[in-house]
Structure 1
Amino acid sequence: MKFFRLAVVLSFVLFLSGCDKNVVYKAHEDIDDGLWYIKDKPTFKVEITDTTQSYNVYYLLRNALQYPYYNLYLTRNFTGPDQKVISNTLEEVYISNETTGKPYGHGLGDLFDHKIPFLKNYRFPRSGTYTFVLSQSMRQNPLPFIISVGISVEKVPVKP
């Protein structure tokens, strides 16, 4: 019984230590059957209250090792609280080494997670809800072996 209590307490402590107080928003959307169609556009709504704070914003990607390319073209539509487009950007991200094929990111088995920055030290101009819409812009439709996509918005830590 003591072992069980110790295991529960230790698990709880590890869970709390895994939480990052700088993360303002973190979400991902699973891609059905690992087939990302061009028409599928995961949407993420981020509530920003502190406009004096600088933020880093990241793509969160999960792919299977069988993903046939070293890169991924993403289109990111970014709108502000007033529904005006802040940016509509086509961006190439690299998820494995072009020469060796070795995946970047962190892997477990044949799945690899990537955290790729796309806005660094960004200050949101006003408080409110910002919307990020992601779509794949590769020539293949559907794009296979993409398991999930998402974003993370994190406060830039203040250096002492």
Structure 2
Amino acid sequence: MKALKNSWILILLVFLGSCGDAPLYNKSYSFANNSWDQDVKPVFIVNVSDTTASYTAQITIRTTTDYGYNNLWFFVHSKTPGGEVDRLPVEVKIANPDGSWIGETSGTIVENTVYFRNLKFPEKGSYTFTFEQGITEQSAKNVMDISYAVTKNPTK
């Protein structure tokens, strides 16, 4: 009986040890009626305590297969704990010119991810990231949600 108990503990430890590091931050924002309107600006607040580490930020956009364009533009407004602000335009390629999907598809959902690697946060504290839809129309139709994740890179 004791050997069986030790086996389960060993299996559990191997399983837990094989899991990757949990993200420092990982949140999603779902758009009402699958429509990202220009006045809807999802906000993500990331608390950073380690300024010596490098990080990877991951932005994931999920659209439906009814999305009518091959890309989606948006702006990322960032604000540091010290109040410095910046604005970065981001383009997510969603479909190839022939209409085939670029991202992962599952049924009527298309998921595309953009990575920003080896980021450094110069100050400890709360960083605010606000996402603003950047197309010329009032609404980006058939956009389901946006996710923002920040993960500490492994040390070398």
The residue aligned with 1:112 is 110
Question: What percent identity do the matched residue pairs reach?
Answer: 28
Per-residue CA deviations over 1:97-137 (Å, capped at 9, x if unaligned) read 1x2222122221010222211x3201100110000000111
CA contact (8 A) 1:63 1:113 kept: yes
For the residue of structure 1 that corresponds to 2:51, the secondary structure is coil
Q: How far apart, in 2, do the equivalents of 1:77 and 1:120 lie?
A: 18
Give 2:84's aligned amino acid: K
Q: How far apart, in 2, do the equivalents of 1:39 and 1:83 lie?
A: 23
The residue aligned with 1:92 is 91
The residue aligned with 1:24 is 24
The residue aligned with 2:57 is 57
Q: How far apart, in 2, do the equivalents of 1:17 and 1:148 lie?
A: 31
Larger Rg over CA atoms: 2
Give 1:35's aligned amino acid: S
Structure 1 stretches of at least 4 aligned residues deviating more than 4 Å after TM superposition: 15-19
The residue aligned with 1:121 is 118
User: CA 1:109 to 1:17, structure 2 compared with 1: closer, same or farther past 3 Å?
Assistant: farther
User: CA 1:33 to 1:19, structure 2 compared with 1: closer, same or farther past 3 Å?
Assistant: farther
CA contact (8 A) 2:35 2:139 kept: yes
Please tell me whether residue 138 in structure 1 is matched to residue 135 in structure 2: yes
Any gaps of 5 or more consecutive residues in structure 1? 1-11
The residue aligned with 1:5 is none
The residue aligned with 1:101 is 99
Q: How far apart, in 2, do the equivalents of 1:48 and 1:92 lie?
A: 26
Q: Shift in Å at residue 27 of structure 1? A: 0.7
CA contact (8 A) 1:70 1:96 kept: yes
Q: How far apart, in 2, do the equivalents of 1:27 and 1:18 lie?
A: 23
User: CA 1:46 to 1:64, structure 2 compared with 1: closer, same or farther past 3 Å?
Assistant: same
For the residue of structure 2 that corresponds to 1:53, the secondary structure is coil
CA contact (8 A) 2:77 2:131 kept: yes
Q: How far apart, in 1, do the equivalents of 2:18 and 2:145 lie?
A: 21
Any gaps of 5 or more consecutive residues in structure 2? 1-11
Aligned-residue Cα RMSD (Å) equals 2.2
Give 1:33's aligned amino acid: N
Give 2:152's aligned amino acid: K
The two structures have a TM-score, normalised by structure 1, of 0.82
Give 1:59's aligned amino acid: I
* Aligned length in residues: 144
For the residue of structure 2 that corresponds to 1:82, the secondary structure is coil
Q: Shift in Å at residue 17 of structure 1? A: 8.3
User: CA 1:138 to 1:56, structure 2 compared with 1: closer, same or farther past 3 Å?
Assistant: same
Q: Shift in Å at residue 62 of structure 1? A: 0.6
Q: How far apart, in 2, do the equivalents of 1:51 and 1:135 lie?
A: 27
